[in-house]
Each structure stands twice: as structure tokens, then as C-alpha cells.
Amino acid sequence: MFRNVAELVELAVSSGKKISHIMIEQEVEFTGKSREEVINQMSNNLDVMEQAVERGLQGVRSVSGLTGGDAVLLQKYIQTGKSLSGDLLLDAVSKAVATNEVNAAMGTICATPTAGSAGVVPGTLFAVKNKLHPSREQMIEFLFTSGAFGFVVANNASISGAAGGCQAEVGSAAGMAAAAIVEMAGGTPEQSAEAFAITLKNMLGLVCDPVAGLVEVPCVKRNAMGAANAMVAADMALAGITSRIPCDEVIDAMYKIGQTMPVALRETAQGGLAATPTGRELEAKIFGVSLNKK
């Protein structure tokens, strides 16, 4: 039904439907499942996300000891009333962190679009839930909207850190979240596309450099920043701000940047933060020896 964002938006506008509804129809057509089955499957995904957020906010630690407890610290900080960024934004950040801390602790999460970027979509969803008070149906629609944009990226570029750097993972996740926030807040399909473009533009070139090869450092905090990016971009789009570069062209640029990115900066732990003295020390401490000698 749609191959790119321009076609997705055109379908939504011409039919007078939400992007989420267009995505549901496409899933029904592609999978051969009934509408009820498709929605129930996404509802199950929503349950997994909620459970991961709740578990993370209770406090978890990874086996390596590199990550854990930061989501709790953020919630305690919010409660002091001294936050500079605003409670809603920090709530989204903390819930994104919570999800990725659960992932790092070998817990169950829902890859959106990957495990390494799984915090952004649920983090923002369960934060704006407290602001917008959506129904269960609207929360499920949020996931379908984010999925529609993820579908386009996966089929026209990449959602893999190994293929395109962290811009392809957290960058895509942040754009997906921004687009879904806009729809839930009552924005237009065009504004959802603008939000995605604004978000991804500001994460272009982001490398994938996991310390010790684990999806922990800097992955968890990158999900935090991805959530913050998504929230701000959604507000910008809802305010009427547009991206001078069309959404599909931003996605194409991300793909081309990923293709030219050195292998050392694409999930190999050979460069970036993973190659710093401290990064190598942590790697040696965890595994007993540095896996990368260079």
C-alpha cells in the first residue's frame, strides 16, 4: 500500500484516516491475519512494553555491572521538583532508560525497532500517557503509527547498528516515537512526517560503539537522548515547524551516511567510546582480557 513516507501521508490524507489505521490495514493485507488478530498482537506488545517499564522503574542491574538504577535516580530527581528540563520530558527519558536497563539485565522487552533502541517508543508513550490520557485503543494506535515509519526505514534504509550505526537504531526509534506522539496529540499526518524528519536529521551520523560489545554503554543513555529528541521534535512539528528536507530524503541521507561509516563505528566495538582507555579497561574487567587489541 505504501513504500515511503510520502505515499503513507498521501494515503492518510486522501482517505481521511489516521496513519495508524493505514498501517493496520497494511498489516492485515500483508499477513493475511484478521484485523482483530493484528490488533491483539500489538496489544500483547504493549503489555510487554509496560511490564518492562515498570520493572525498570523498580531498579535493575545488568550482569556486567555497567548499567542499572539510573531510571530510579531520574524518578527521584523528578520528585524533588527541581528538574530543569521539565517533568514530562524527564519522565519519558526515565522510562526509556528503564526499558533499556531491563534489556541489559536480560529481561523481556519489545524490539522497537531493535533491542538496542527498545526504550524510546515505550518511554515516550508511557510518559505522554500521563499528559494526554489516551484510551487503550489509542495507545495501540501509537505503536502502529511508530511501526508505519519503522516499516519505511527498514525497507528503504536500515534499522541495524551493524549496517548503519546508531543513527539507524536509536535515530529511527526516536523518529518513530516523534511521529506517533504527534498523532496521539491530535496532529496531522503531515506533522507526523515533519516530526520524524526533524528528529532523524538531528541524529544523523550517530555511531554504534558499544563498550565491551555489550548493549549497555552508551546505548542506554542514547535511548534517553532519543526520547528527549522525540519529545522536542514532536512539539516543534505540532507548533507548525517543518523540515526543509523532506522526510524520505532524510531517511535516504541516513542510509548513505551509514554506508560510508567506517566498520570500526558500526557495532564492532573497535572504535569510538569502546576504544577509549576506560572503555578498554571495562572490557578487560568484564571478560578478563580485551577482545580488541587495537
What are the grid coordinates assigned to 96, written together? 526509556
Is the residue at 293 inside a domain? no
Mean pLDDT of 208-224: 98
Assess if residue 141 is contained within a domain: yes
* Average pLDDT score over residue span 176-203: 98
**Domain holding 207: CATH number?**
1.10.4100
- How far is residue 183 from each of residues 43, 207, 233, measured CA to CA in Å? 18, 29, 13
Q: Does 294 map to a domain?
A: no
> How much helix, strand and coil, in percent to the nearest 5, is found in the chain?
70, 0, 30
> Does the pLDDT value for residue 243 go beyond 70?
yes
pLDDT band at 293 (very low <50, low <70, confident <90, very high): low
The mean per-residue pLDDT over the stretch 164-189 comes to: 98
pLDDT of the residue at 1: 87
**Backbone φ, ψ for residue 259 (5° rounding):** -65, -30
List the grid coordinates of 199.
528528529
How far does Cα 91 stand from its chain's mean position?
A: 15
Residue 70 lies in a domain: yes
Averaged pLDDT for residues 50-57 = 98
Query: Does some domain include residue 252?
Result: yes
Beta bridge partners of 266: 208
The share of the chain scoring above pLDDT 70, in percent, equals 98
Domain that holds residue 10: 5-287
**Assigned domain for 292 exists:** no
The C-alpha cell at 161 is 547498528
Distance CA 60, CA 75 (A): 14
Q: What is the mean predicted confidence (pLDDT) over 230-253? A: 98
Q: Is the per-residue pLDDT at 56 higher than 90? A: yes
pLDDT for residue 99 is more than 90:
yes
Average pLDDT over residues 46-74: 98
pLDDT tens-digit series, residues 14-30:
999 999 999 999 999 99
Residue 56: inside a domain: yes
CA distance linking residue 63 with residue 41, whole number of Å = 31
What is the average per-residue pLDDT within 239-261? 98
The domain total for the chain is: 1
Q: Residue 260 above 60 pLDDT?
A: yes
Stretch 186-210: mean pLDDT, rounded? 98
First-to-final CA distance of the chain: 48
The verdict on residue 85 lying in a domain is yes
**Mean pLDDT score, 232-247:** 98
| Mean pLDDT, all residues of the chain | 97
Nearest to 88 by CA among 269, 282, 234, 248: 234
- Whether the predicted pLDDT of 75 surpasses 60: yes
| pLDDT at residue number 294 | 47
**How far lies 43's CA from each of 49, 100, 143, 175, in Å?**
10, 20, 9, 21
What mean pLDDT do residues 233-258 have?
A: 98
Q: What is the pLDDT of residue 291?
A: 58
Residue 292: its pLDDT value, please?
Answer: 62
Averaged pLDDT, 183-204: 98
